[in-house]
Amino acid sequence: MEKFPAPSIRAAVMGAVSVLALSAAFTPTRAQTNVPYPSKPLRVIVPLPAGGPTDILARIVATPLQDRLGQAVVIDNRPGAGGNIGAEIVARSSPDGYTLFAGTSGPLANNISLYAKLPFDPVRDFSPIALVASAPFVLAVHPSVPVTNVKEFIAYAKARPGQLNYGAVPGAAAHLATEMFRSLAGIDIVHVPYKGAGPATTDVIAGQIQFTFASTPGAIPHVKSGKLRALAVTSTKRVAQAPEIPTVAEGGGPVMSAEVWYGFVAPAKTPREIVNRLHTDIVQIVQTPATRDRMLASDFEPRLMAPDEFAAFIKSEIARWGKVIRSAKITAD
């Protein structure tokens, strides 16, 4: 029988040391697993310029959030490409809870149908945290347009096919809402492209174009000042900040729902406990009277959804607006 030499004591000891070393290398230490979250400042990417509605809402939430977390929450504006630049930054960030996205219906739902090549997937590349607010559009006309409700507006437009102009950023939510209304109402109207919602609203006020679908934060101040006439809001119910404005259906038009919505998401694979922590804090912030009052004063409707509900909502919005985009042959490329 062949005999094998017994291993030396030195070899046995060295083998044991090697096993322990490998184990230590692949096993997180207690300090690593118990690092409290958050232990450093958070960054919130806003995909639009400072001073706009998304930026305002992000700051309304960020200020009390940093008090709750005990860490700074820094707003980082990264505008461009319809929100895609900011969204891509977040999609490629570490899923550690320190980079969040103040997203809107544009990059999180509409853009996947508007752009031939999107550098991120709105479903696969993000972990939804919370939907926090929405803002419907206001069908607003220049005061010289001789109509006072949606029924009259539709009749006026049908009597003048191709003569009424509206302004909107190509592919923006307001553009999609107007095309939805055009299709449902059966009218022939002309889209005048603009680089921003503000200039489009300004040109309605100046009488350069006849009407626009402007978000409530952008329209209501001008309606209250008398510079614009509001015919309807595109939500299914009246908005708290302007309850005198009827819905499209109440004004004699088709039943429709079109809103810009706002929510926070993190990179995909962010630990669920971090997502839940952020969701709880954000919801509690939005539910405080102080935050609610600030949101309503800025013409946002508080609207809360849990992570899983928000994820399902994003998928449904992608499908809903994808149909509108394809039907109207809208592209943003």
The CATH architecture assigned to 136-233 reads 3-Layer(aba) Sandwich (3.40)
The model carries a pTM of 0.85
**Helix H or strand E segment including 151:** helix 150-158
Q: Name the CATH superfamily for 42-135+260-328.
A: Bordetella uptake gene, domain 1 (3.40.190.150)
pLDDT of 22 > 60? The answer is no
42-135+260-328 and 136-233 share one fold:
yes
Can you give the residue ranges of every domain in the chain? 42-135+260-328, 136-233
Residue pLDDT, tens place only, 237-262: 999 889 999 999 999 999 999 999 99
Beta bridge partners of 193: 168
Percent of the chain with pLDDT over 70: 90
* Alpha carbons 273 and 277: distance in angstroms, whole number: 6
Position 30 scores a pLDDT of 34
**Residue 34: which pLDDT band, with cuts at 50, 70 and 90?**
low
Helices (H) and strands (E) in the chain, counts: 13, 10
Cα–Cα distance measured from residue 307 to residue 43, given in angstroms and rounded to the nearest whole number: 20
* Confidence at 29, pLDDT banded by 50, 70, 90: very low
Percentage of the chain modeled with pLDDT above 90: 83
23: confidence class by pLDDT, cuts 50, 70, 90: very low
Rg (the chain; Cα; Å) = 26
Q: What does the pLDDT average to over 289-312?
A: 96
Query: pLDDT tens digit string along 95-129?
Result: 999 999 999 999 999 999 999 999 999 999 999 99
Which residues, at least 6 apart from 28, have a Cβ–Cβ distance to it below 8 Å? none
Please compute the mean of the pLDDT values over residues 166-192 and round it to a whole number. Answer: 96
pLDDT value at position 28? 41
Per-residue pLDDT band for 194 (boundaries 50, 70, 90) equals very high
How far apart CA 223 and CA 299 sit, in angstroms, is 12
* Band of residue 271 on the pLDDT scale cut at 50, 70, 90: very high
Residue-level pLDDT at 73: 98
Q: What mean pLDDT do residues 171-198 have?
A: 95
Nearest to 137 by CA among 236, 252, 263, 244: 236
5 pLDDT higher than 80: no
List, for residues 45-89, the tens digit of each pLDDT value: 999 999 988 999 999 999 999 999 999 999 999 999 999 999 999
Angle at 318 between CA 313 and CA 324, to 5 degrees: 125
Assess whether pLDDT exceeds 60 at residue 231: yes
